[in-house]
Amino acid sequence: MSDTKGQTEVNETVKIGQRLIGSVGFQRLFQDGMALVEETARYLDNEGREQSKNLPSEASLFYATESMRLTTRLMQMASWLLLQRAVAENEMSNEDARKAKNKLNLTAATSNQPQETFDKLPDRFKELISHSERLQNCILHMDSQLEGAEKPEDIDIVVNPVADQLGTLRAVFENNS
């Protein structure tokens, strides 16, 4: 529909979940998550393997346990990210993704070891664990937003191009701070 100034009124209906998964924030989260999976695999196969050999026995056992937790957490997060991308690219239905997501454990356990044991781990390994936990929190937050978007009263919205651009700018500045 056009007004007298020749501008077009946008009145499309979109699903909020699709909009969220199509956002710049999701793309960054996806890239960061997949990069962390690759980075962690390289670390554990090379530098981490060498560093773990030099740890005291208690720390070595803790390292092995934490590396299993870390890889499990990353695989669960990567699965979630890939499911959401498949839905966004119309490669999978929302219902199929929801069924597959129900098999995931996005709240994979974090360590409950004393801080002095954690402090004995290699610094790079501790950084990878911390990074994975931050990403896990972001994914849990986005997942809760998506779950909330599935309520019938929240599904349809009217696209506002100005609000959309402001949202994109807000996401960029929030992620850079």
Instruction: Read off the pLDDT of residues 43-57 as tens digits, 9 standing for 90 and up.
Output: 999 999 999 999 988
pLDDT, greater one: 125 or 173: 125
Domain that holds residue 146: 13-169
Q: Is residue 174 part of a domain?
A: no
Q: Is residue 164 part of a domain?
A: yes
DSSP state of 15: E
| Overall domain count for the chain | 1
**Alpha carbon 129 to chain centroid distance?**
14
Q: Is residue 3 part of a domain?
A: no
Q: pLDDT confidence of 17, banded at 50, 70, 90? A: low
Q: Is residue 50 part of a domain?
A: yes
Mean pLDDT to the nearest integer, 111-133 = 88
Question: Given the structure tokens 């996806």, which residue do they identify?
Answer: 30
Distances (CA, A) of 49 to 65, 67, 152: 14, 10, 50
Q: Are 167 and 22 in contact (CB under 8 A)?
A: no
Q: Are 55 and 63 in contact (CB under 8 A)?
A: yes
Distances (CA, A) of 39 to 31, 36, 59, 63, 152: 12, 5, 22, 17, 40
Per-residue pLDDT at 46 = 95
Query: Is this prediction's pTM over 0.85?
Result: no
CATH label of the domain that carries residue 42: 1.10.8.930
Per-residue pLDDT at 131 = 95
Q: CA-CA distance, 172 to 177, in Å (whole number)? A: 9
Question: Given the structure tokens 């773990």, which residue do they identify?
Answer: 52
Q: Which of 2-11, 24-33, 141-150, 167-176 has the highest mean pLDDT?
A: 24-33
